[in-house]
A and B are shown apart, each in its own frame.
Chain A
Amino acid sequence: MMNKDLRSIAIENSDEITQEWLKEINQLKSVNYTEEISAELYDNNNQEFLNVIFHSIRGNGSTKVIKDFSDRIIQLGWPLSYITDGLLVFRKVTVNTILTKLEQSDGGFVSEIISSVDSWVEPIIRQLVNEYSVSWEQVVSLQRIALQELSAPLIPVMDNITIMPLIGTIDTERAKFIMENLLEGVMRHNAEVVLIDITGVPVVDTMVAHHLFQATEAVRLLGASCILVGIRPEIAQTIVNLGINFSNLPTKSTLKKGFMLALEITNKSIIEMDNKSQNMDDLLGFGKGSEITNENSNLKTT
Protein backbone atom coordinates (compact mmCIF):
# COMPACT_ATOMS: atom_id res chain seq x y z
CA MET A 1 0.00 0.00 0.00
CA MET A 2 3.06 2.16 0.43
CA ASN A 3 3.47 2.15 -3.33
CA LYS A 4 -0.07 3.44 -3.82
CA ASP A 5 0.67 6.27 -1.42
CA LEU A 6 3.86 7.28 -3.21
CA ARG A 7 2.03 7.10 -6.50
CA SER A 8 -0.57 9.57 -5.29
CA ILE A 9 2.16 11.91 -4.06
CA ALA A 10 3.68 11.84 -7.53
CA ILE A 11 0.34 12.46 -9.19
CA GLU A 12 -0.66 15.24 -6.81
CA ASN A 13 2.63 16.99 -7.44
CA SER A 14 2.61 16.39 -11.18
CA ASP A 15 2.79 20.14 -11.88
CA GLU A 16 5.98 20.51 -9.91
CA ILE A 17 7.51 17.39 -11.47
CA THR A 18 6.52 18.71 -14.88
CA GLN A 19 8.27 22.03 -14.27
CA GLU A 20 11.48 20.39 -13.06
CA TRP A 21 11.43 17.85 -15.84
CA LEU A 22 10.95 20.48 -18.55
CA LYS A 23 13.80 22.52 -17.12
CA GLU A 24 16.21 19.59 -17.24
CA ILE A 25 15.05 18.27 -20.58
CA ASN A 26 15.45 21.69 -22.19
CA GLN A 27 19.05 21.75 -21.07
CA LEU A 28 19.55 18.41 -22.78
CA LYS A 29 18.10 19.67 -26.01
CA SER A 30 21.17 21.58 -27.13
CA VAL A 31 23.45 18.66 -26.28
CA ASN A 32 21.46 15.79 -27.67
CA TYR A 33 19.07 16.71 -30.38
CA THR A 34 19.52 18.27 -33.70
CA GLU A 35 18.70 21.87 -34.50
CA GLU A 36 16.11 20.87 -37.07
CA ILE A 37 13.57 20.21 -34.33
CA SER A 38 11.84 23.54 -33.75
CA ALA A 39 11.34 24.82 -30.19
CA GLU A 40 7.58 24.71 -30.54
CA LEU A 41 7.58 21.12 -31.77
CA TYR A 42 9.96 20.19 -28.98
CA ASP A 43 7.68 21.73 -26.33
CA ASN A 44 4.60 20.04 -27.73
CA ASN A 45 6.29 16.70 -27.83
CA ASN A 46 7.61 17.10 -24.29
CA GLN A 47 4.12 17.86 -23.04
CA GLU A 48 2.74 14.84 -24.81
CA PHE A 49 5.53 12.62 -23.51
CA LEU A 50 4.74 13.73 -19.94
CA ASN A 51 1.05 13.03 -20.46
CA VAL A 52 1.92 9.55 -21.63
CA ILE A 53 4.13 8.96 -18.58
CA PHE A 54 1.49 10.18 -16.11
CA HIS A 55 -1.22 8.31 -17.91
CA SER A 56 0.82 5.16 -17.55
CA ILE A 57 1.43 5.78 -13.85
CA ARG A 58 -2.26 6.46 -13.20
CA GLY A 59 -3.41 3.53 -15.25
CA ASN A 60 -0.92 1.12 -13.70
CA GLY A 61 0.93 0.63 -16.94
CA SER A 62 -1.62 0.73 -19.76
CA THR A 63 0.21 0.05 -22.99
CA LYS A 64 -2.18 1.43 -25.61
CA VAL A 65 -1.20 5.06 -25.07
CA ILE A 66 2.51 4.21 -25.12
CA LYS A 67 2.07 2.32 -28.37
CA ASP A 68 0.29 5.22 -30.06
CA PHE A 69 2.89 7.67 -28.81
CA SER A 70 5.83 5.53 -29.93
CA ASP A 71 4.29 4.89 -33.34
CA ARG A 72 4.05 8.61 -33.91
CA ILE A 73 7.50 9.62 -32.72
CA ILE A 74 9.17 6.77 -34.64
CA GLN A 75 7.36 8.01 -37.71
CA LEU A 76 8.64 11.52 -37.06
CA GLY A 77 12.15 10.17 -36.52
CA TRP A 78 12.77 11.27 -32.92
CA PRO A 79 15.98 9.73 -31.56
CA LEU A 80 15.73 6.84 -29.11
CA SER A 81 17.96 8.79 -26.72
CA TYR A 82 15.14 11.32 -26.31
CA ILE A 83 13.01 8.57 -24.77
CA THR A 84 15.67 7.09 -22.51
CA ASP A 85 16.96 10.49 -21.37
CA GLY A 86 13.45 11.75 -20.77
CA LEU A 87 12.57 8.80 -18.58
CA LEU A 88 15.84 8.86 -16.66
CA VAL A 89 15.32 12.56 -15.92
CA PHE A 90 11.73 11.84 -14.95
CA ARG A 91 12.90 9.20 -12.52
CA LYS A 92 15.39 11.55 -10.89
CA VAL A 93 12.98 14.46 -10.66
CA THR A 94 10.15 12.34 -9.27
CA VAL A 95 12.31 10.72 -6.61
CA ASN A 96 13.57 14.14 -5.53
CA THR A 97 10.07 15.61 -5.43
CA ILE A 98 8.66 12.77 -3.34
CA LEU A 99 11.62 12.95 -0.97
CA THR A 100 11.17 16.66 -0.35
CA LYS A 101 7.41 16.24 0.09
CA LEU A 102 7.90 13.57 2.73
CA GLU A 103 10.86 15.31 4.41
CA GLN A 104 12.24 12.00 5.43
CA SER A 105 15.75 10.63 4.91
CA ASP A 106 15.62 7.13 6.32
CA GLY A 107 17.84 4.95 4.08
CA GLY A 108 15.49 2.00 3.68
CA PHE A 109 12.63 4.29 2.89
CA VAL A 110 14.60 6.10 0.21
CA SER A 111 15.46 2.86 -1.53
CA GLU A 112 11.80 1.88 -1.40
CA ILE A 113 10.85 5.14 -3.09
CA ILE A 114 13.46 4.61 -5.75
CA SER A 115 12.38 1.07 -6.46
CA SER A 116 8.73 2.00 -6.68
CA VAL A 117 9.42 4.93 -9.03
CA ASP A 118 11.56 2.54 -11.06
CA SER A 119 8.70 0.12 -11.30
CA TRP A 120 6.54 2.83 -12.89
CA VAL A 121 9.16 4.00 -15.33
CA GLU A 122 10.78 0.77 -16.39
CA PRO A 123 7.82 -0.76 -18.25
CA ILE A 124 7.55 2.45 -20.30
CA ILE A 125 11.25 2.37 -21.17
CA ARG A 126 11.06 -1.30 -22.06
CA GLN A 127 8.05 -0.94 -24.30
CA LEU A 128 9.29 2.15 -26.09
CA VAL A 129 12.74 0.69 -26.73
CA ASN A 130 11.07 -2.48 -28.00
CA GLU A 131 8.82 -0.54 -30.36
CA TYR A 132 11.86 1.22 -31.75
CA SER A 133 13.91 -1.91 -32.28
CA VAL A 134 10.99 -3.80 -33.86
CA SER A 135 10.53 -0.93 -36.29
CA TRP A 136 14.25 -0.96 -37.15
CA GLU A 137 14.25 -4.70 -37.63
CA GLN A 138 11.30 -4.43 -39.99
CA VAL A 139 13.02 -1.76 -42.04
CA VAL A 140 16.18 -3.83 -42.23
CA SER A 141 14.39 -6.99 -43.30
CA LEU A 142 12.34 -5.12 -45.90
CA GLN A 143 15.48 -3.56 -47.31
CA ARG A 144 17.14 -6.93 -47.44
CA ILE A 145 14.26 -8.24 -49.55
CA ALA A 146 14.38 -5.15 -51.76
CA LEU A 147 18.13 -5.61 -52.26
CA GLN A 148 17.66 -9.24 -53.15
CA GLU A 149 15.15 -8.28 -55.77
CA LEU A 150 17.65 -5.86 -57.27
CA SER A 151 20.66 -8.07 -56.89
CA ALA A 152 20.98 -9.97 -60.15
CA PRO A 153 18.50 -9.10 -62.89
CA LEU A 154 18.83 -10.81 -66.23
CA ILE A 155 17.53 -9.01 -69.29
CA PRO A 156 17.04 -10.83 -72.61
CA VAL A 157 17.54 -8.12 -75.24
CA MET A 158 17.53 -10.25 -78.41
CA ASP A 159 17.28 -13.87 -79.34
CA ASN A 160 20.36 -15.51 -77.83
CA ILE A 161 21.75 -12.31 -76.28
CA THR A 162 21.17 -11.57 -72.60
CA ILE A 163 22.48 -8.81 -70.36
CA MET A 164 23.13 -8.91 -66.61
CA PRO A 165 23.78 -5.43 -65.22
CA LEU A 166 25.43 -5.55 -61.80
CA ILE A 167 25.15 -2.53 -59.52
CA GLY A 168 26.60 -2.23 -56.04
CA THR A 169 28.78 -4.27 -53.76
CA ILE A 170 29.09 -8.00 -54.39
CA ASP A 171 29.29 -10.11 -51.25
CA THR A 172 29.29 -13.89 -50.94
CA GLU A 173 25.53 -14.16 -50.73
CA ARG A 174 24.99 -11.97 -53.74
CA ALA A 175 27.66 -13.82 -55.71
CA LYS A 176 25.65 -17.00 -55.20
CA PHE A 177 22.50 -15.25 -56.47
CA ILE A 178 24.34 -13.99 -59.51
CA MET A 179 25.56 -17.47 -60.35
CA GLU A 180 22.11 -19.04 -59.93
CA ASN A 181 20.24 -16.37 -61.89
CA LEU A 182 22.85 -16.41 -64.61
CA LEU A 183 22.71 -20.16 -65.18
CA GLU A 184 18.95 -20.37 -64.89
CA GLY A 185 18.58 -17.41 -67.25
CA VAL A 186 20.94 -18.87 -69.82
CA MET A 187 18.82 -22.00 -69.95
CA ARG A 188 15.47 -20.23 -69.94
CA HIS A 189 16.27 -17.60 -72.55
CA ASN A 190 18.36 -20.01 -74.57
CA ALA A 191 21.20 -17.50 -74.52
CA GLU A 192 24.31 -17.88 -76.62
CA VAL A 193 26.04 -14.79 -75.27
CA VAL A 194 25.69 -13.19 -71.83
CA LEU A 195 26.97 -9.67 -71.25
CA ILE A 196 27.89 -9.00 -67.63
CA ASP A 197 28.01 -5.27 -67.02
CA ILE A 198 30.10 -4.23 -63.98
CA THR A 199 29.87 -0.44 -64.47
CA GLY A 200 28.05 -0.13 -61.16
CA VAL A 201 30.34 -2.35 -59.10
CA PRO A 202 32.43 -0.01 -56.93
CA VAL A 203 35.31 -2.37 -56.09
CA VAL A 204 36.66 -5.32 -58.03
CA ASP A 205 38.97 -7.19 -55.66
CA THR A 206 40.23 -10.75 -55.89
CA MET A 207 37.04 -12.10 -54.35
CA VAL A 208 34.76 -10.38 -56.86
CA ALA A 209 37.06 -11.46 -59.70
CA HIS A 210 37.03 -15.00 -58.39
CA HIS A 211 33.23 -15.10 -58.36
CA LEU A 212 33.07 -13.63 -61.85
CA PHE A 213 35.49 -16.30 -63.09
CA GLN A 214 33.43 -19.05 -61.53
CA ALA A 215 30.18 -17.72 -62.98
CA THR A 216 31.60 -17.35 -66.48
CA GLU A 217 33.19 -20.78 -66.34
CA ALA A 218 29.82 -22.28 -65.39
CA VAL A 219 28.15 -20.43 -68.26
CA ARG A 220 30.82 -21.78 -70.61
CA LEU A 221 30.02 -25.31 -69.44
CA LEU A 222 26.42 -24.75 -70.55
CA GLY A 223 27.71 -23.94 -74.02
CA ALA A 224 27.23 -20.18 -73.90
CA SER A 225 29.87 -17.49 -73.64
CA CYS A 226 30.28 -14.48 -71.38
CA ILE A 227 31.57 -11.02 -72.17
CA LEU A 228 32.54 -8.77 -69.29
CA VAL A 229 31.70 -5.13 -70.02
CA GLY A 230 31.74 -1.80 -68.21
CA ILE A 231 35.30 -1.92 -66.95
CA ARG A 232 36.27 1.57 -65.86
CA PRO A 233 39.88 2.70 -66.33
CA GLU A 234 40.66 2.80 -62.61
CA ILE A 235 39.24 -0.70 -62.20
CA ALA A 236 41.40 -1.91 -65.09
CA GLN A 237 44.52 -0.48 -63.41
CA THR A 238 43.61 -2.02 -60.07
CA ILE A 239 43.08 -5.41 -61.67
CA VAL A 240 46.50 -5.21 -63.32
CA ASN A 241 48.14 -4.22 -60.00
CA LEU A 242 46.44 -7.05 -58.19
CA GLY A 243 47.87 -9.38 -60.79
CA ILE A 244 44.57 -10.98 -61.74
CA ASN A 245 44.64 -12.64 -65.13
CA PHE A 246 41.48 -11.88 -67.10
CA SER A 247 42.88 -13.11 -70.41
CA ASN A 248 40.56 -16.10 -70.76
CA LEU A 249 37.49 -13.90 -70.35
CA PRO A 250 36.57 -11.57 -73.23
CA THR A 251 36.18 -8.01 -71.96
CA LYS A 252 35.01 -4.72 -73.46
CA SER A 253 35.07 -1.24 -71.97
CA THR A 254 31.41 -0.46 -72.64
CA LEU A 255 28.14 -2.30 -72.95
CA LYS A 256 27.79 -0.95 -76.49
CA LYS A 257 31.05 -2.49 -77.66
CA GLY A 258 30.22 -5.72 -75.93
CA PHE A 259 26.85 -5.80 -77.62
CA MET A 260 28.46 -5.36 -81.04
CA LEU A 261 30.75 -8.28 -80.28
CA ALA A 262 27.77 -10.34 -79.15
CA LEU A 263 26.01 -9.57 -82.44
CA GLU A 264 29.07 -10.76 -84.32
CA ILE A 265 29.20 -14.00 -82.35
CA THR A 266 25.52 -14.70 -83.01
CA ASN A 267 25.85 -13.76 -86.71
CA LYS A 268 23.64 -10.72 -86.50
CA SER A 269 24.12 -7.14 -87.54
CA ILE A 270 22.31 -3.84 -87.25
CA ILE A 271 21.17 -2.34 -90.56
CA GLU A 272 20.10 1.27 -90.81
CA MET A 273 16.86 1.71 -92.66
CA ASP A 274 16.51 4.01 -95.63
CA ASN A 275 12.96 5.21 -95.59
CA LYS A 276 12.80 8.21 -93.34
CA SER A 277 9.26 9.06 -94.40
CA GLN A 278 7.77 7.02 -91.58
CA ASN A 279 7.28 9.29 -88.66
CA MET A 280 7.90 8.54 -85.02
CA ASP A 281 4.23 8.23 -84.05
CA ASP A 282 3.74 5.57 -86.69
CA LEU A 283 6.65 3.53 -85.46
CA LEU A 284 5.60 3.78 -81.85
CA GLY A 285 2.07 2.77 -82.79
CA PHE A 286 0.32 6.00 -81.83
CA GLY A 287 -0.77 6.85 -85.38
CA LYS A 288 -3.07 3.88 -85.84
CA GLY A 289 -6.15 6.09 -86.25
CA SER A 290 -7.38 7.66 -89.47
CA GLU A 291 -5.09 8.93 -92.20
CA ILE A 292 -6.19 12.48 -91.70
CA THR A 293 -4.66 12.71 -88.26
CA ASN A 294 -1.46 11.29 -89.70
CA GLU A 295 -1.35 13.98 -92.34
CA ASN A 296 -2.05 16.60 -89.76
CA SER A 297 0.84 15.53 -87.65
CA ASN A 298 3.05 15.50 -90.73
CA LEU A 299 2.09 19.05 -91.47
CA LYS A 300 2.94 20.16 -87.97
CA THR A 301 6.38 18.67 -88.03
CA THR A 302 7.41 20.01 -91.47
Chain B
Amino acid sequence: MSSQSCVTIHKEWDIVAARQMGREIAKQLGFGTVDQARITTAISELARNIYLYAGEGKVYFEVIESLDKKGITIVATDTGPGIKDLSLVMEDGYTTSGGLGAGLPGVRRLMDEFDIESETGKGTKIVTTKWVR
Protein backbone atom coordinates (compact mmCIF):
# COMPACT_ATOMS: atom_id res chain seq x y z
CA MET B 1 0.00 0.00 0.00
CA SER B 2 1.29 3.44 -0.76
CA SER B 3 -0.07 6.95 -0.88
CA GLN B 4 1.41 10.10 -2.27
CA SER B 5 1.36 13.80 -1.55
CA CYS B 6 3.21 16.65 -3.18
CA VAL B 7 4.45 20.18 -2.49
CA THR B 8 5.53 22.53 -5.26
CA ILE B 9 8.67 24.47 -4.40
CA HIS B 10 8.62 27.95 -5.79
CA LYS B 11 9.12 30.40 -2.93
CA GLU B 12 11.32 30.14 0.13
CA TRP B 13 8.30 29.51 2.35
CA ASP B 14 7.38 26.45 0.28
CA ILE B 15 10.38 24.80 1.94
CA VAL B 16 8.62 25.22 5.26
CA ALA B 17 5.38 23.85 3.81
CA ALA B 18 7.23 20.79 2.45
CA ARG B 19 8.92 19.95 5.70
CA GLN B 20 5.78 20.47 7.73
CA MET B 21 3.95 18.01 5.50
CA GLY B 22 6.87 15.59 5.73
CA ARG B 23 7.03 15.86 9.50
CA GLU B 24 3.30 15.22 9.78
CA ILE B 25 3.54 12.09 7.60
CA ALA B 26 6.57 10.86 9.53
CA LYS B 27 4.76 11.38 12.82
CA GLN B 28 1.74 9.41 11.62
CA LEU B 29 3.99 6.58 10.45
CA GLY B 30 5.36 6.24 13.95
CA PHE B 31 8.86 7.65 13.58
CA GLY B 32 10.50 8.78 16.82
CA THR B 33 11.36 12.42 17.47
CA VAL B 34 14.98 11.99 16.40
CA ASP B 35 14.02 10.38 13.09
CA GLN B 36 11.32 13.01 12.60
CA ALA B 37 14.00 15.68 12.97
CA ARG B 38 16.25 13.78 10.53
CA ILE B 39 13.51 13.46 7.92
CA THR B 40 12.45 17.08 8.33
CA THR B 41 16.03 18.27 7.97
CA ALA B 42 16.57 16.10 4.88
CA ILE B 43 13.43 17.56 3.28
CA SER B 44 14.64 21.04 4.17
CA GLU B 45 17.98 20.40 2.42
CA LEU B 46 16.38 18.90 -0.70
CA ALA B 47 13.73 21.60 -0.98
CA ARG B 48 16.31 24.32 -0.45
CA ASN B 49 18.48 22.88 -3.20
CA ILE B 50 15.52 23.09 -5.57
CA TYR B 51 14.82 26.67 -4.48
CA LEU B 52 18.46 27.77 -4.72
CA TYR B 53 19.65 26.00 -7.86
CA ALA B 54 16.61 25.09 -9.97
CA GLY B 55 14.20 27.85 -8.93
CA GLU B 56 11.20 25.54 -9.21
CA GLY B 57 10.46 21.90 -8.59
CA LYS B 58 8.44 19.41 -6.63
CA VAL B 59 8.85 17.36 -3.48
CA TYR B 60 6.76 14.18 -3.30
CA PHE B 61 6.15 12.04 -0.24
CA GLU B 62 5.35 8.39 -0.58
CA VAL B 63 4.25 6.24 2.31
CA ILE B 64 5.41 2.64 2.00
CA GLU B 65 3.58 0.12 4.08
CA SER B 66 4.30 -3.50 3.34
CA LEU B 67 3.92 -6.50 5.62
CA ASP B 68 7.42 -6.44 7.01
CA LYS B 69 8.32 -2.77 6.94
CA LYS B 70 7.07 0.80 6.86
CA GLY B 71 8.82 3.88 5.61
CA ILE B 72 8.70 7.22 3.90
CA THR B 73 10.16 7.97 0.50
CA ILE B 74 10.95 11.53 -0.45
CA VAL B 75 11.27 12.34 -4.14
CA ALA B 76 12.67 15.74 -5.09
CA THR B 77 12.51 16.60 -8.77
CA ASP B 78 13.29 19.71 -10.77
CA THR B 79 13.89 20.70 -14.35
CA GLY B 80 16.75 23.01 -13.50
CA PRO B 81 20.31 23.15 -14.82
CA GLY B 82 21.24 19.70 -13.49
CA ILE B 83 24.46 18.69 -11.78
CA LYS B 84 27.65 18.27 -13.83
CA ASP B 85 29.68 16.13 -11.50
CA LEU B 86 27.64 13.94 -9.17
CA SER B 87 30.61 12.58 -7.25
CA LEU B 88 31.74 16.12 -6.51
CA VAL B 89 28.41 17.25 -4.96
CA MET B 90 28.37 14.14 -2.79
CA GLU B 91 31.68 15.21 -1.26
CA ASP B 92 31.59 17.00 2.07
CA GLY B 93 32.45 20.65 1.87
CA TYR B 94 31.82 21.14 -1.83
CA THR B 95 29.63 24.17 -2.49
CA THR B 96 28.87 26.56 -5.32
CA SER B 97 26.73 28.94 -3.28
CA GLY B 98 29.07 29.79 -0.40
CA GLY B 99 27.14 27.49 1.95
CA LEU B 100 28.54 24.73 4.10
CA GLY B 101 28.52 22.09 1.36
CA ALA B 102 27.02 19.52 3.69
CA GLY B 103 23.55 19.35 2.10
CA LEU B 104 23.49 16.30 -0.16
CA PRO B 105 26.08 14.16 1.64
CA GLY B 106 24.23 15.12 4.84
CA VAL B 107 20.90 13.95 3.42
CA ARG B 108 22.50 10.62 2.47
CA ARG B 109 23.66 10.17 6.06
CA LEU B 110 20.31 11.27 7.52
CA MET B 111 18.32 8.79 5.43
CA ASP B 112 18.61 5.02 4.84
CA GLU B 113 18.49 4.87 1.06
CA PHE B 114 19.64 7.54 -1.35
CA ASP B 115 19.65 7.73 -5.11
CA ILE B 116 20.43 10.67 -7.38
CA GLU B 117 20.02 11.09 -11.12
CA SER B 118 20.90 14.24 -12.97
CA GLU B 119 21.37 15.36 -16.52
CA THR B 120 22.96 18.69 -17.43
CA GLY B 121 20.33 21.05 -18.78
CA LYS B 122 17.45 18.70 -18.00
CA GLY B 123 17.15 18.50 -14.26
CA THR B 124 17.73 16.44 -11.18
CA LYS B 125 15.81 13.71 -9.40
CA ILE B 126 16.64 12.55 -5.90
CA VAL B 127 14.88 9.59 -4.31
CA THR B 128 15.55 8.87 -0.68
CA THR B 129 13.90 6.59 1.87
CA LYS B 130 13.83 6.20 5.64
CA TRP B 131 12.50 3.04 7.28
CA VAL B 132 10.71 2.89 10.60
CA ARG B 133 12.78 0.86 13.00
Partner of B109, one of A205, A209, A210, A241: A241
Whether a CB of chain A sits under 8 angstroms from the CB of B123 is: no
Residues of B participating in the A interface, judged by any CB pair closer than 8 Å = 12-13, 15-16, 19, 33-34, 36-38, 40-41, 44-45, 48, 92, 99-103, 105-106, 109-110
Asked if residues A206 and B37 are in contact (CB atoms below 8 Å), the reply is no
Asked if residues B45 and A205 are in contact (CB atoms below 8 Å), the reply is yes
Given A203-B19, A204-B41, A233-B34; A172-B12 close (CB under 8 Å) = yes
**Measured between alpha carbons, how far is A207 from B106 in the docked complex, in Å?**
12
Asked if residues A238 and B41 are in contact (CB atoms below 8 Å), the reply is yes
Chain B nearest CB from A208 CB (Å) reads 9
- For chains A and B in complex, what number of residue pairs have CB atoms within 8 angstroms? 66
Asked if residues A203 and B99 are in contact (CB atoms below 8 Å), the reply is no
List 15 A-B residue pairs with CB atoms under 8 Å apart, sorted by A's residue number. A172-B12, A203-B19, A204-B41, A205-B44, A206-B101, A206-B106, A234-B36, A234-B37, A234-B38, A235-B37, A238-B34, A238-B37, A238-B41, A242-B41, A243-B102
A contact residues around B33 at 8 Å (CB)? 234
Chain A residue at minimum C-beta to C-beta distance from B99: A210
Q: A241-B109, A242-B41, A242-B109 are in contact. List 16 more A-B contacts (CB 8 A).
A: A171-B13, A172-B12, A203-B44, A205-B44, A206-B45, A206-B101, A206-B106, A207-B48, A209-B100, A233-B34, A234-B33, A234-B34, A237-B34, A237-B37, A238-B37, A238-B41
6 closest A-B pairs by beta carbon, nearest first, are: A242-B106, A234-B37, A205-B44, A234-B34, A206-B100, A241-B109
Chain A residue at minimum C-beta to C-beta distance from B52: A207
A residues 186-237 with Cβ under 8 Å of B?
202-207, 209-210, 213, 233-235, 237
**Measured between alpha carbons, how far is A95 from B19 in the docked complex, in Å?**
49
A contact residues around B37 at 8 Å (CB)? 203, 234-235, 237-238
Chain B residue at minimum C-beta to C-beta distance from A171: B12
Chain B nearest CB from A241 CB (Å) reads 5
Whether a CB of chain B sits under 8 angstroms from the CB of A244 is: yes
Chain A residue at minimum C-beta to C-beta distance from B111: A241
A contact residues around B12 at 8 Å (CB)? 171-173
Chain B residue at minimum C-beta to C-beta distance from A214: B98
**Measured between alpha carbons, how far is A202 from B19 in the docked complex, in Å?**
10
